[in-house]
Amino acid sequence: MEINASMVKELRERSGAGMMECKKALTENAGNVDASIEWLRKQGLAKADKKAGRIAAEGRVALAQDGGKAVLVEINSETDFVAKDENFLAFTAMVAKQALTSGAADVEALKSADAGTGVTVEVARQTLVAKVGENVQIRRMVRVDSTNTVGAYVHGGRIGVLIELKGGSAELARGIAMHVAAMNPPHISPDHVPAHIVAKEKEIALEQIKDSGKPADILEKMIQGKLRKTLAEISLTGQQYVIDSSITVEAALKKEGAEVLAMHRLAVGEGIEKPQGDDFATEVMKQAGLA
């Protein structure tokens, strides 16, 4: 059967696959569009499985929010080149939207959610892998579903933050989220610092002043002072507020009678051991199938 341009166009619109892939699919399936779509999906699955072992440490953090409901999803690619591709960007936006509307509690549940095109998010991922030629993975997600004040901020698609406040304004919640994106405090307040970290910091403070010759009661006061300073530095509430450096985050919260209930931060590639040595030229060669 002769494969004409209108058949290829229809298949491209329905499948999102490239022109040559569509032509090959139609040729393999005697011009049957539905059978060709199924064939493309199978091909996508094969390609996705082949690339699944490759390190994907670049990508994007995508956000979707509706009032007190908000989600962040980290989606990884192998290169920054693909992370900026329009197909990848459209996929990340779709995944965040479906994560919010489906109510999925984790990545595995999200993969099974409807992508809005009659296929699951996982099938849509496999199709994207076939299209961009790289391993693409939905790595992590966090969600807040609250009647409290929820603030969200994404910086450059690389860092995403969700903040839940008891009290306070939407503007304050967003400002706190921006602070967390910039400063990455590991704890909300000194009271949230685990006991073993407090004990270790106290041990370090004692080691620093043990030979000072001060009386025991003075040493204890010095240790407590050092400990308070250290715990403030590693806590959100104790840090100088990036929006107004003349006050601490705690002071900014007190102004509105607000309290931080939850803090979530995702950064692209966090904790993934990245391959060394690939420069931009190598990335481009990979995209062209030359490396």
Residue 21: give the domain boundaries.
5-51
Query: Which CATH number characterizes residue 24's domain?
Result: 1.10.8.10
**Domain membership flag for residue 244:** yes
Q: Quick one: 101 and 65 in the same domain?
A: yes
Which distant-in-sequence residues (6+ apart) come within 8 Å of 127 by Cβ? 15, 16, 17, 40, 41, 44, 119
Instruction: Characterise 59 by phi-psi region: left (phi > 0), alpha (psi -120 to 50), beta (else).
Output: left
Tokens of 118: 């009659």
Answer whether 238's CB lies under 8 Å from 248's CB: yes
Residue 258 lies in a domain: no
Q: How confident is the model at residue 276 (pLDDT cuts 50, 70, 90)?
A: low
Q: Assess whether 44 and 60 both reside in one domain.
A: no
Residues 12 and 60 in one domain: no
Which CATH number does the domain housing residue 84 bear? 3.30.479.20
Helix, strand or coil, per DSSP, at residue 19: helix
Burial profile 101-116: b = 16 or more Cβ within 10 angstroms, e = fewer: ebebeebeebbebebe
Q: What are the tens digits of pLDDT across the range 195-216?
A: 999 888 888 887 777 777 777 7
Q: 75-87 burial string, b = 16+ CB within 10 Å, else e?
A: bbbbbbbbbebee
Do 132 and 96 fall within a single domain? yes
Q: Does residue 281 register a pLDDT over 80?
A: no
Q: How many domains does the chain have?
A: 3
Considering the domain architecture, whether residues 96 and 111 belong to the same structural domain is answered as yes
Same domain for 9 and 72: no
How do residues 52-88 score in pLDDT, each as one tens digit?
Answer: 556 667 999 999 999 999 999 999 999 899 999 999 9
pLDDT, the chain, mean: 86
**Is residue 186 scored above 80 in pLDDT?**
yes
Q: Is residue 160 part of a domain?
A: no
> At CA 263, angle to CA 255 and CA 225, rounded to 5?
65
Q: In the predicted model, what is the mean pLDDT of residues 164-180?
A: 97
Average pLDDT of the residues in 121-143: 91
Whether residue 282 is contained in a domain is answered as no
